[in-house]
Structure 1
Amino acid sequence: MPGRKKYLRLVFIIVAVFLFCNFMPSAVSAAKYQDYAERLARINVFRGTGDGFDLEREPTRLEGLVMLVRLLGAEEEANQITEYTFPFDDVPRWGRGYVQYAYENGLTKGVSKTKFGSHGLIDARSYITFLLRALGYSDQHGDFAWNEAIEFAFEKGIISESMYFELSSQPFLRDQLAKTSFDALNAFVKGTETRLLDFLVQKGSIDPIKAQAVFAGSIRKGPAELDFEKLIQACVYLEVETSSGQKSGSGFYIDQHGTIVTNYHVIEKAQKIRIINSNGAIYAGDVMIKGYDRELDIAILSTAVKNEAFLPLGDSSSIKVGQPVYAIGSPLGLSNTVSEGIISAI
């Protein structure tokens, strides 16, 4: 991505997946971001339900909109609204002020002329769009596109690599809503060196004493759990024909548009490349070599595959000696293997 130093985690024959990135956790696992929810609750930005914070549930559109209004420091103003001009007939009484504020300020639209979709689920792109708007970015004025909101937030450093991967590959939960909201409060408002939290304090929306407690102390981090079954779905096996015979190797998708990373030696002098996905599905269509580096032994392939699973590229500045590393692929013709090691040197 622009503005980020990319690197390819290639170990042995295929990709090295780092434990600290916490890639692709299961959507049904226990909530990881309880501590962030508790910190946001201290300033009344994130509130619980009758079941605690309910972090393992998918949030609704109305819940997402309420968070946007709070992050704009406009909740008090929204709660004082008594006249409603929005055309939606599915907004509960408690949410009318929030919807009216957002509607009259052009922050949101309904799912139809008469429905806001209050109880429908909000996806990650839509919520990240809300966060970007709270930070002063505008999709209407061309700062970013809605369908690239997650990528834009990652490029701007608002969300981490691991969160980018979570949002791109699994259902959006209140768990991630809490963490991304926390990240937004710690991000700079567009065109300034003022964090959103500090902006809200200056505006008088958040008590300065309570605000100090949001980032104070260490954050409790949940265990890093890797779902290898899901990670393997992004990996492929390559069968390559050359003038001197056949060879094979591994690769992995780096986006949802069929782009594959592999080793250069695997596709060197290739006349035909056949791709076998982790589920056994074979792609024998056109494969274009978009670029390569002989010295680094890296190649980028373009295909017409419409894959869902992928492994985004990482930031080399986050590598540290001693970190756990896993290699996933199909070395020597073996299928979907996993091996473990550590980063011994940089």
Structure 2
Amino acid sequence: MSKKILSLILILALAFSIAGFANAKAVTTSVEITTTAEVDTTLDRANALKDLGLFKGTGSGFDLDRAPTRTEAIVMLLRMLGEEKKAEESSYTNPFTDVPSWATQYISYAYNKGYTNGTSVSTFGSDDLATPEQFFTFMLRALGYSDKDGDFDWSASVQKAESLSIVASGNYTDNETFNRGDCVDIIYSVLSANKKDDNITLAETLIAKESIDGTIAAKYGFGKPTALPDDLVDLSSKTFTNNKRLCVLSAKSIWNDNAAIKLEIAPRDFGIKATSIYLSEDGINYKALKMSSKRDSNNEEPYVYAVELREMSAGNGMGHNYHILNLKFDTTYTVCVETSQNEFITPITIKTANSKAAAVSGFGAPYGNKSSNGMYTSAFVGINLSLENEWSYQFYRWTPGSNPAAISGASGIAIGSTVIFHELTSEDLNSFVFWRVINDDGVIIESIGYYVELVAGMPPQ
């Protein structure tokens, strides 16, 4: 018996584009499609702080498992004070002989400002490892507390931070390894702490000083929320689910001379549909789009044209297509869908096609062929498009409740109307296999996928 094969029949009238795929030749493009990431891990927080300009890596990446030096701790302090740029532009000097050239201005500035002292008259202890007490002392100083004025004792700085609820009790002691990852977690927490004798957080202070960007800070939940215009919606308090996935077609509209994004909810299920679709250009403030079962040629604002699909023959249920019309070309949007089950699907961020793109009508539907004993011998997905020139593809494996994973070796470059095959394996069982296609015109197609219950030659799982 032949093995089950998932084939893509890709016939496009157009070109596609998105960020490069693993193991695939890169197609020149600036289009991105991403989901909004949760900041749950130390690495997430390191990336967020990098985005804010408060944490930088080394030649070896973030080096989160390495112990921080006193020099690195001082630089982090200056960033938390919003004084990194002042230090870089300063002409201060210092009496120390062990300061590396790259850190001279930082240490000189901090020394002359009274933020730190040396380990002796002539040494700073640049390569000495920072202890939790030293690092918390710096962070408390950033919040306006002074060990010189008796607000706390530097040797008890950890306990002071615990009393202020900056960190949980017992997390940081001399008996445990203290590394740069710990510094990241502490900084992230300190940003939300109030300054001494004030009702303003450190993050809000840095925003006011223009040391960090307020829009970026808001993306990570820092800063006081501001009143939104009546037509905008704040989704920051919502919990997003990855039990469902948004399939995407981004191209030129088939009805007018604008960009359009077409969505479908996967997996298809009877009765599950979008009750609200929200659109944002900054990834923070969303507008609830008007939804209509009829196209409105007089409407020049973005709106949703909702179309109910017939039942699909492959057991994928009833689906609905949602066309977001009247979008700008070559523009980044974030889209969030609220379903009839009162769930918010994890938002996606996508850049629309450019004005040279042709109109695309659909991203296809899955079908399968069975042998006489009921075993699937092949499956294919057809797309009612025609494709010219070069395009990239990548197959993905997805199980509801998890993030899609690129299938190793199932990617590449194709030209024109080409049939692409992915040979299914036991790893594909009980998951959805779908593909994403792109090219230089900014068109993106990500299919709804095919649920793999059986693989030829293998018993059901």
TM-score scaled to structure 2, two decimals? 0.39
Q: What secondary structure does 2:198 align onto?
A: coil
Report deviation, 1:169.
3.7
Q: Which one of 180, 191, 209 corresponds to residue 186 of structure 2?
A: 180
Alignment of 1:217-296 (within 5 A): none
Alignment of 1:1-346 (within 5 A): 33-84=42-93, 86-161=94-169, 164-167=170-173, 169-215=175-221
Report deviation, 1:214.
2.9
**Residue 41 to residue 144, structure 1, CA distance change in 2 (3 Å):** same
Q: What secondary structure does 1:165 align onto?
A: coil
Any gaps of 5 or more consecutive residues in structure 1? 1-30, 220-346
Contact kept? 2:158, 2:172, Cα under 8 Å = no
What code does the residue aligned with 1:204 have? E
**Residue 217 to residue 66, structure 1, CA distance change in 2 (3 Å):** farther
In 2, Cα distance between equivalents of 1:67 and 1:218:
32
Any gaps of 5 or more consecutive residues in structure 2? 1-39, 222-235, 240-461
In 2, Cα distance between equivalents of 1:93 and 1:175:
25
What code does the residue aligned with 2:42 have? Y
In 2, Cα distance between equivalents of 1:184 and 1:218:
24
- Structure 1 or 2: more helix by fraction: 1
Deviations 1:124-159 (A, max 9, x none): 000000000000000000000011100010001111
Q: How many residues align?
A: 186
In 1, Cα distance between equivalents of 2:174 and 2:124:
25
Contact kept? 1:56, 1:175, Cα under 8 Å = yes
What code does the residue aligned with 1:192 have? D
**Residue 101 to residue 214, structure 1, CA distance change in 2 (3 Å):** farther
**Residue 176 to residue 217, structure 1, CA distance change in 2 (3 Å):** farther
Deviations 1:164-200 (A, max 9, x none): 3244540210010000011111100001111101101
Report deviation, 1:218.
9.8
- Structure 1 or 2: more strand by fraction: 2
Q: What secondary structure does 1:69 align onto?
A: helix
Q: What secondary structure does 1:79 align onto?
A: helix
In 2, Cα distance between equivalents of 1:95 and 1:50:
16
Contact kept? 2:45, 2:188, Cα under 8 Å = yes
In 2, Cα distance between equivalents of 1:137 and 1:124:
17
Contact kept? 1:123, 1:171, Cα under 8 Å = no
Query: Bigger shift: 89-98 or 208-217?
Result: 208-217
**Residue 94 to residue 144, structure 1, CA distance change in 2 (3 Å):** same
Query: Over alpha carbons, which structure has the higher Rg?
Result: 2
What code does the residue aligned with 2:90 have? I
In 2, Cα distance between equivalents of 1:136 and 1:101:
18
Corresponding residue for residue 277 of structure 1: none
In 1, Cα distance between equivalents of 2:129 and 2:237:
33
Deviations 1:207-235 (A, max 9, x none): 1112112337899xxxxxxxxxxxxxxxx
What code does the residue aligned with 2:188 have? F
In 1, Cα distance between equivalents of 2:213 and 2:44:
20
Report deviation, 1:117.
0.8
In 1, Cα distance between equivalents of 2:147 and 2:167:
18
Contact kept? 2:68, 2:180, Cα under 8 Å = yes
In 2, Cα distance between equivalents of 1:157 and 1:76:
30
TM-score scaled to structure 1, two decimals? 0.51
In 2, Cα distance between equivalents of 1:176 and 1:32:
11
Report deviation, 1:100.
1.3
In 2, Cα distance between equivalents of 1:93 and 1:122:
19
Report deviation, 1:114.
0.5
Contact kept? 2:49, 2:55, Cα under 8 Å = yes
Corresponding residue for residue 292 of structure 1: none
Corresponding residue for residue 13 of structure 1: none
What code does the residue aligned with 1:109 have? N
In 2, Cα distance between equivalents of 1:123 and 1:106:
19
Q: What secondary structure does 1:42 align onto?
A: helix
In 2, Cα distance between equivalents of 1:217 and 1:176:
27
Once superposed, which parts of structure 1, at least 4 consecutive aligned residues long, lie more than 2 Å away? 164-169, 213-219
